[in-house]
Amino acid sequence: MKNTDIVYPEDRDIPPAVTIAMQLAHAILQVFVQLEQTLRQLTPHQYTAPSHTLFNASIGQHVRHIIELFQCLELGYVAGVVNYEKRKRDMAIETDPMLAIQLLQTIGANLQRPDKNLSLEADYDQQSGNMVVVQSNYYREIMYNLEHTIHHMALIRVGVRELTSITLPADFGVASSTIKHRQLCAQ
């Protein structure tokens, strides 16, 4: 058994790829639940207000960014090519927390797909416009989006602290490896 083929006793008859998909979806759903619970506590003004600490970005802008990267992956899965730079930058997502919640739920319901190879493209040179294309796969991009979400949740945490009196869970915006390390150090 390889390290990537983690199988729990109740999952013995489930193929390893399915188990990996389930683990990734579960991890993302956990952070989405935290994010959704937070969004439900925010007023529309708190969701859209610029945070001075976040260089005048709003909580809603960070939430939109999270959602749109997942949407890019979803579109890219079908096409076989993912380009995170081709986000819509939809103002409705960054101004309507209920829409954001609906989109998080839709994304969460559609995460478990078979792994497949994908091309990841980006244009890092603003002068030439030459695309950089690297090979990736769906599971790798799901992992990237999970870490990216947690990173933006850490920023959202800063905005929530500045703009509201909401108390967030201690692990909101904290990577699972950091949580495990803290637990180990506390023993």
Domain-located, residue 6 = no
User: Looking up tokens 């976040």, which residue turns up?
Assistant: 54
Number of folded domains that form the chain: 1
Domain that holds residue 82: 13-186
Q: Read off the CATH number of the domain in which 28 is found.
A: 1.20.120.450
pLDDT at residue 16 greater than cutoff 80: no
Give the number of other Cβ atoms within 10 Å of residue 180's Cβ: 10
Convert the pLDDT of each residue in 75-134 to its tens digit. 999 999 999 999 999 999 999 999 999 999 999 999 999 999 999 999 988 787 789 999
Cα angle 176-27-133, degrees, rounded to a multiple of 5: 90
Domain-located, residue 106 = yes
Contact by Cβ (8 Å): 23, 6: yes
Domain-located, residue 7 = no
- C-alpha distances out from residue 5 to 11, 20, 120, Å: 11, 7, 25
Token pair belonging to 60: 């809603």
For residues 5 and 49, the model is more confident at 49
pLDDT (mean) for 17-30: 89
Q: Which 8-state DSSP code applies to residue 84?
A: G
Domain-located, residue 5 = no
Give the whole-angstrom CA distance, residue 181 versus residue 166: 26
Give the number of other Cβ atoms within 10 Å of residue 179's Cβ: 12
Domain-located, residue 171 = yes
Confidence label for 8 from pLDDT (cuts 50, 70 and 90):
very low
- Kind and range of the H or E element at 162? helix 138-163
- Kind and range of the H or E element at 151? helix 138-163
Residue 132, beta-bridge partner list: 122
Q: What is the pLDDT of residue 187?
A: 85
Domain-located, residue 19 = yes
Helix, strand, coil shares, percent, the chain, to 5: 60, 10, 30
Q: Checking phi first, is residue 55 left (phi over 0); if not, alpha (psi -120 to 50) or beta? A: left
Domain-located, residue 8 = no
Convert the pLDDT of each residue in 118-159 to its tens digit. 999 999 887 877 899 999 999 999 999 999 999 999 999 999
Domain-located, residue 60 = yes
User: Looking up tokens 């992956």, which residue turns up?
Assistant: 73
